[in-house]
Amino acid sequence: MIFHKIVVVYDDSSEADRALDVAIELTRALRAELLIVTVLEPLPNYFSWDVSPLPAKQWIERTRTKHTLHQTAARQKANAAGVSLDTELVDGDEVDRIIESAKKNHADLLVVGLRQDTLLIEQPAKKIAARSPCALLGVR
Amino acid sequence: MIHKIMVAYDESAEAGRALQASIELAKTLGAELTVVTVLEPLPGYYSFAASVVPAWNWTEEKRVRYRALQAGARQQANALGVVFDAELINGDEVNTIVECAKRHHSDLLVLEMRKHSWLMAGHTSQDVAERAPCAVLGIK
């Protein structure tokens, strides 16, 4: 079939959830493989005012746990629909990491969630579109 | 979840790939497919012509060419057992495609995505993607 490897950009937003729903459906219909990629957001700048590196470390740990939990929930949702998925949790620049991950995994479809409340497409999604190595599905 | 697919189709190679992908998707998902081709307005330089015949010829010639193009697309779809509705509409590309997707209540709009196209201001695919009422799939 046309799409064999589907990669979803996933985080804790409702846009990402909608993207995941569509991706699960497509994966099942096309008998493709599914991978969800979450990029950890960068450390907020205000941590640089701290006297100790401990709060920053805790923040990173908390964020990582939060996203891991979200990915587990996504896996359960996919399994309930009879689809198995792989997860990736990466650190760094959002757009760079996503493109890298799509290339590394030989994705032929990249799925991103688009905001519904505004017609403007967010900057990251535009950048992904410009640099995507494969087809791109924007879900509203 | 995806019941109605619409694809914007013209004579470019990318549009051909977009068509192929939508045919396969429509087949796999059991969705309805609509192929829309936009006849762009007459180039401005025809206003310098001494008679209306060249302009009329230009429009007619383009219409015939696009009809033939859609007939070819129909054969391609029929070979895979997919039947689609075809629309040939006069007007501005972006508006027409968006209006058409709204009118048909499409859930998925398939577009060709030329290299770097979404990055360039004022490009058709990006404009359509921003204003589309539904999910947008860009095919490279």
Please tell me which of the candidates A114, A130, A133 has its beta carbon nearest to residue B119: A130
Is the pLDDT at B42 greater than 90? The verdict is no
CA distance A8 to A102: 9
| Residue of B17, B19, B28, B102 to mutate when probing chain A, most A C-beta within 10 A | B28
Which amino acid makes up residue B106?
A: S
How close does chain B come to A127, measured CA to CA in Å?
7
Identify the sign of the CA torsion A79, A26, B137, A6: positive
Query: What are the boundaries of each domain within chain B?
Result: 4-11+26-139
Find, among B106, B102, B138, the residue nearest to A109 by Cα.
Answer: B138
The pLDDT value given to residue B114: 73
Q: What is the pLDDT of residue B14?
A: 85
B117 pLDDT above the threshold of 50: no
In angstroms, the CA A10 to CA A94 distance is 11
More confident residue, B97 or B123: B97
Query: What mean pLDDT comes out for the span B97-124?
Result: 79
pTM for this predicted structure:
0.90
In chain A, which residue's Cα lies nearest the Cα of B119? Answer: A130
pLDDT at A120: 61
Contact A37, A101 (CB under 8 A): yes
Looking at this predicted complex, what is its ipTM? 0.90
> What integer is the mean pLDDT of A105-116?
93
Evaluate whether B2 touches A25 at the Cβ level (below 8 Å).
yes
- The residue in chain B having the minimum alpha-carbon distance to the alpha carbon of residue A25 is B1
Residue pair A10/A19 in contact by the 8 Å Cβ criterion: yes
B4-11+26-139 folds as Rossmann fold (3.40.50)
**What is d(CA A115, CA A112) in angstroms, rounded to the nearest whole number?**
10
Which residues pair with residue A136 across a beta bridge? A110, B138
| 3-class DSSP assignment, residue A13 | coil
Structural domains of chain A, with CATH: 1-7+32-115+131-140 (3.40.50.620)
